[in-house]
């Protein structure tokens, strides 16, 4: 191959492109030694099995067919298995007088009755199949023995049908059978009259405006409710509670759906004492609700502070938020206590250090991502349910505070009450994350019609007003679910967010800001009046006309803009110093305003900008409309006349003045017009250097650590507008001031700081 220059390389591409269109199919090279054909266990048909060592389908021996797993071979129907050598099996047909194969496949027997399809004996219901005697010897003819269901035996056949074992406790009273009017449900015999079988197994998907008759509910709703009510079966009560949670805790006039049944049982327990001294938590039942008295939410969330104090620095440094969750599966079984975090509520993937930043007090955390529906169906075949608590510590006597939860999708008689004001909120306790089970309509293993995924989890901490001790109110967890109809699992995605927020009542700060603006605006008014008066005196006009008014308004606009600017910079500096520095945050007493609370600040900055723009335009107009007259009083140079005059009068001829000096000075004066004390390029470069290179912009992040260098592996919260504004204005003013004044001492200290 010639190594040509570029043009020949280009021309070389022409021919192969044509040949490309001709060779569309894949060549299998004959000398490709290592290519194999793909086979999976389901690809191997009836008389072959999937050989796991060669990853291919291999024929079974004679009279054999593949097992249910497909990974080995078993004997055909009517053939018994013999071990002839160590490595493989042989199948021998059963003799005609013993045509059935015994259950383990290693012998033949005569059957008392008929043979099943698999060529084994079968017995009537309630009987067990006996093929060997008690010592293990094979019988010639198998027997069907009936299990004695009456006292004192009380036995029924076991699952494999080969032994009699004691029947379930609920069947004891009726000789191990469950006959009407008793109801057989979920493997239990429910006495008649305890609970009506008319239950509503539908799950309502309000966002999609339809309901699904869930297979799980059809199978388990009645049995769980009955077992909970009649037998006080703890697991069944949890399962019933879980079904109510899957239906979004929603009450309606229908009292036979999951939450209606739960509520029925809840009210029936009213006479008994409540658990753990909490009146909403009844014996044997899960704690699902906080009660529906109006205003209860406010009392729960804003009355008693949490008995731990958060502190950013010092001996009592305490910035870890430990949330524990009691985890239940959908059947109601208690699994374990689990730390809330990456494994449960934080669905977005990420490294441990990033995800644990969410539980560092003071760091405003938010993480969003898109999850693929196919992956969710894979990873969450059944939902898990979490009761979340805040760990208060305490060593041996460790205490927990239950976390009130607000489910936005919750309905109360058809109203989304949690989207209304706090007075109407109906707090609850239990949450799940991904529910792919309740949307399955035909059976619990079919593809679901709808899945429900948590689209937003927000944990909000509110600082007690005017606290000096870093006290917070009980945090609130707000959960929003999204109903996703299944159309194409490989392309659908769901967006989910996990956020932790910190809030403080900003009314005091707002009042202080407004007062400052009011006072300084009054002072600015007086100052503008004075300026207008002096301007009038300079133009020597006694009339107060429209022009005077306009001048006054423009002066006032400029001064008011200065007022707004001063107040906003002061506010930014206040937050910067008091939120981030050492002294003030020994105990948490100040929290940044939330983005929603920053709107007023943004308005002030906007006003300052607009008013200053007005003043600036006016000044520009004034400058543009100025006429400048340049007068140069140059003296002509007197030159002595060399010629001696004959006549008596000495005459001096003045040399004319050349215009060049005037031109020179006018040119230089013109050039001076645009000289500035502050070099824009240096200003911008210096400010950017401080902000981006030295990392001062990281002082404006929403967490309480004044760290300049942040690694990319860690979590960095979002920026706060107020802090950014305060920081950049302060830097800009300082650097501008240094250029204007240029004090040598301060310059030296500036350099030392930079180094």
Question: Which two structure tokens, joined as six digits, stand for 581?
Answer: 């520095």
d(CA 480, CA 464): 26
Toward a second copy, which CB reaches closer, 414 or 522? 522
Residue ranges in 644-720 assigned as alpha helix (H): 660-672, 680-688
Residues 6+ apart with CB under 8 A from 39: 50, 55, 56, 57
Name the minimum Å distance from CB 312 to a second copy: 13
Contact present, 260 and 199 (Cβ < 8 Å): no
Short-list 185, 179, 164, 174, CA closest to 233: 185
The strand ranges marked E within 351-449 are 365-372, 384-393, 399-402, 405-407, 430-432, 434-435
Short-list 441, 432, 433, CA closest to 486: 441
Toward a second copy, which CB reaches closer, 365 or 555? 365
Longest dimension (CA), the chain: 175
Toward a second copy, which CB reaches closer, 370 or 419? 370
Name the minimum Å distance from CB 229 to a second copy: 10
Name the minimum Å distance from CB 106 to a second copy: 5
Name the minimum Å distance from CB 656 to a second copy: 6
Toward a second copy, which CB reaches closer, 333 or 692? 333
Toward a second copy, which CB reaches closer, 391 or 503? 391
Toward a second copy, which CB reaches closer, 625 or 681? 681
Name the minimum Å distance from CB 555 to a second copy: 28
Toward a second copy, which CB reaches closer, 26 or 626? 26
Toward a second copy, which CB reaches closer, 88 or 749? 88
Contact present, 669 and 630 (Cβ < 8 Å): yes
Name the minimum Å distance from CB 395 to a second copy: 10
Angle (nearest 5°) at CA 344 between 342 and 349: 40
Name the minimum Å distance from CB 550 to a second copy: 36
Short-list 464, 466, 463, CA closest to 503: 463
Short-list 214, 185, 212, CA closest to 444: 214
Q: What length is written for the chain?
A: 755
Toward a second copy, which CB reaches closer, 46 or 656? 656
Query: How would you classify the pairing of strands 405-407 and 476-485?
Result: parallel
Toward a second copy, which CB reaches closer, 624 or 633? 633
DSSP letter, residue 115: B
Toward a second copy, which CB reaches closer, 146 or 177? 146
d(CA 314, CA 320): 14
At residue 548, φ and ψ (nearest 5 deg) are -65, -45
Residues 6+ apart with CB under 8 A from 549: none
Short-list 246, 302, 699, CA closest to 454: 246
Name the minimum Å distance from CB 157 to a second copy: 9
Angle (nearest 5°) at CA 117 between 111 and 123: 40
Contact present, 564 and 556 (Cβ < 8 Å): no
At residue 161, φ and ψ (nearest 5 deg) are 75, 20
Name the minimum Å distance from CB 655 to a second copy: 5
Toward a second copy, which CB reaches closer, 231 or 408? 231
Name the minimum Å distance from CB 543 to a second copy: 42
- Torsion angle defined by CA atoms of residues 590, 591, 592 and 598, in that order, rounded to the nearest 10 degrees: -90
Sign of CA dihedral 717, 422, 297, 463: positive
Toward a second copy, which CB reaches closer, 131 or 201? 131
d(CA 604, CA 510): 12
Contact present, 128 and 147 (Cβ < 8 Å): yes
Toward a second copy, which CB reaches closer, 548 or 716? 716
- Torsion angle defined by CA atoms of residues 614, 619, 624 and 627, in that order, rounded to the nearest 10 degrees: 150
The strand ranges marked E within 420-568 are 430-432, 434-435, 450-462, 476-485, 493-503
Name the minimum Å distance from CB 440 to a second copy: 23
Toward a second copy, which CB reaches closer, 638 or 733? 638
Toward a second copy, which CB reaches closer, 334 or 737? 334
Name the minimum Å distance from CB 542 to a second copy: 42
Question: Which two structure tokens, joined as six digits, stand for 315?
Answer: 């001996």
Name the minimum Å distance from CB 38 to a second copy: 4
Using the structure block, give the residue that is written with the tokens 């305003």.
Answer: 593
Distance, C-alpha 303 to centroid of its chain? 28
Name the minimum Å distance from CB 558 to a second copy: 26
How many Cα neighbours within 13 Å face the side chain of 381? Answer: 5
Name the minimum Å distance from CB 514 to a second copy: 11
Toward a second copy, which CB reaches closer, 63 or 372? 372
Residue ranges in 544-592 assigned as alpha helix (H): 546-580
Using the structure block, give the residue that is written with the tokens 């291919």.
Answer: 56
Toward a second copy, which CB reaches closer, 393 or 736? 393
Name the minimum Å distance from CB 257 to a second copy: 21
Name the minimum Å distance from CB 16 to a second copy: 4
CA distances from residue 302 to 56, 296, 298, 460, 596 in whole angstroms, order as listed? 67, 10, 6, 12, 20
Contact present, 433 and 345 (Cβ < 8 Å): yes
Residue ranges in 581-698 assigned as alpha helix (H): 599-624, 660-672, 680-688
Contact present, 453 and 484 (Cβ < 8 Å): yes
Short-list 471, 474, 479, CA closest to 408: 479
Contact present, 452 and 483 (Cβ < 8 Å): yes
Name the minimum Å distance from CB 135 to a second copy: 5
């Amino acid at each position: 191959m010639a190594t040509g220059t570029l043009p020949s390389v280009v021309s070389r591409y022409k021919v192969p492109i044509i040949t490309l269109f001709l060779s569309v199919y894949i060549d299998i090279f004959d000398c490709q030694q290592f290519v194999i054909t793909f086979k999976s266990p389901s690809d191997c048909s009836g008389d072959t099995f999937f050989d796991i060592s060669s990853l291919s389908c291999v024929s079974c021996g004679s009279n054999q067919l593949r097992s249910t797993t497909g990974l080995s071979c078993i004997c055909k129907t009517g053939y018994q298995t013999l071990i002839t050598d160590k490595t493989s099996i042989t199948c021998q047909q059963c003799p005609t007088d013993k045509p059935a194969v015994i259950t383990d496949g290693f012998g033949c027997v005569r059957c008392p009755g008929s043979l099943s399809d698999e060529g084994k004996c079968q017995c009537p219901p309630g009987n067990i199949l006996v093929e060997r005697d008690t010592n293990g010897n094979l019988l010639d003819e198998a027997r069907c023995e009936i299990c004695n269901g009456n006292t004192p035996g009380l036995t029924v056949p076991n699952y494999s049908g080969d032994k009699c074992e004691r029947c379930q406790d609920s069947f004891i009273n009726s000789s191990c059978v469950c006959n009407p009017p008793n109801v057989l449900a979920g493997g239990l015999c429910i006495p008649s009259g305890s609970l009506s079988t008319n239950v509503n197994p539908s799950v309502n998907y309000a966002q999609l405006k339809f309901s699904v008759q869930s297979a799980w509910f059809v199978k388990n709703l009645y049995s769980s409710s009955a077992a909970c009510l009649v037998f006080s079966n703890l697991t069944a009560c949890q399962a019933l509670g879980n079904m109510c949670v899957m239906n979004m805790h929603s009450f309606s006039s229908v009292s036979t759906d999951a939450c209606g049944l739960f509520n029925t049982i809840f009210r029936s327990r009213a006479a008994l004492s409540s658990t753990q001294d909490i009146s909403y938590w009844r014996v044997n039942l899960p704690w699902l609700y906080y009660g529906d008295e109006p205003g209860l939410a406010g009392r729960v969330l804003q009355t008693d502070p949490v008995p731990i104090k958060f502190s950013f620095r010092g001996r009592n440094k305490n910035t870890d938020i430990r949330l524990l969750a009691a985890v239940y599966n959908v059947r109601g079984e208690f699994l374990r206590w689990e730390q809330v975090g990456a494994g449960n509520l934080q669905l977005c993937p990420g490294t441990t250090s990033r995800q644990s930043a969410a539980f560092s007090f003071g760091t405003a955390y938010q993480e969003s991502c898109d999850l693929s529906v196919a992956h969710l169906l894979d990873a969450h075949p059944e939902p898990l349910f979490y009761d979340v608590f805040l760990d208060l510590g305490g060593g041996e006597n460790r205490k927990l505070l239950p976390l009130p939860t607000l489910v936005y999708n919750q309905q109360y008689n058809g109203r989304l009450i949690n989207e209304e004001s706090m007075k109407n909120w109906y707090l609850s306790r239990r949450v799940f994350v991904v529910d792919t089970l309740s949307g399955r309509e035909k059976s619990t293993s079919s593809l679901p019609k709808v899945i429900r995924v948590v689209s937003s989890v927000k944990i909000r901490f509110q600082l007690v007003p005017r606290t000096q001790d870093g006290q917070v109110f009980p945090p609130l967890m707000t959960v929003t679910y999204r109903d996703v109809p299944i159309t194409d699992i490989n392309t659908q995605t769901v967006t989910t967010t996990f956020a932790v927020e910190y809030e403080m009542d900003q009314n005091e700060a707002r009042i202080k800001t407004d007062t400052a603006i009011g006072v300084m605006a009054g002072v600015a008014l007086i100052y503008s009046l004075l300026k207008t008066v002096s301007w009038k005196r300079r133009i020597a006009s006694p009339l107060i006309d429209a022009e005077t008014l306009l001048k006054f308004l423009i002066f006032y606009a400029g001064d008011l803009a200065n007022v707004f600017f001063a107040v906003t910079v002061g506010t930014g500096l206040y937050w910067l110093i008091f939120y981030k520095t050492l002294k003030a945050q020994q105990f948490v007493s100040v929290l940044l305003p939330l983005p929603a609370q920053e709107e007023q600040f943004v308005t002030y900055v906007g006003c300052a900008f607009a008013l200053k723009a007005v003043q600036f335009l006016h000044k520009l107009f004034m400058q543009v409309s100025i006429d400048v007259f340049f007068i140069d009083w140059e003296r002509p140079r007197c030159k002595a006349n060399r010629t001696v005059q004959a006549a008596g009068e000495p005459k001096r001829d003045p040399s004319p003045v050349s215009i060049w000096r005037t031109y020179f000075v006018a040119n230089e004066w013109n050039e001076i017009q645009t000289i500035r004390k502050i070099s824009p390029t240096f200003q911008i470069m210096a400010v950017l250097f401080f902000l981006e290179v030295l990392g001062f912009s990281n002082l404006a992040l929403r967490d309480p650590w004044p760290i300049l260098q942040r690694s990319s592996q860690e979590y960095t919260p979002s920026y706060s507008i107020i802090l950014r504004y305060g920081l950049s204005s302060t830097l800009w003013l300082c650097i501008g001031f240094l250029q204007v004044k240029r004090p040598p001492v301060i310059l030296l200290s500036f350099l030392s700081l930079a180094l």
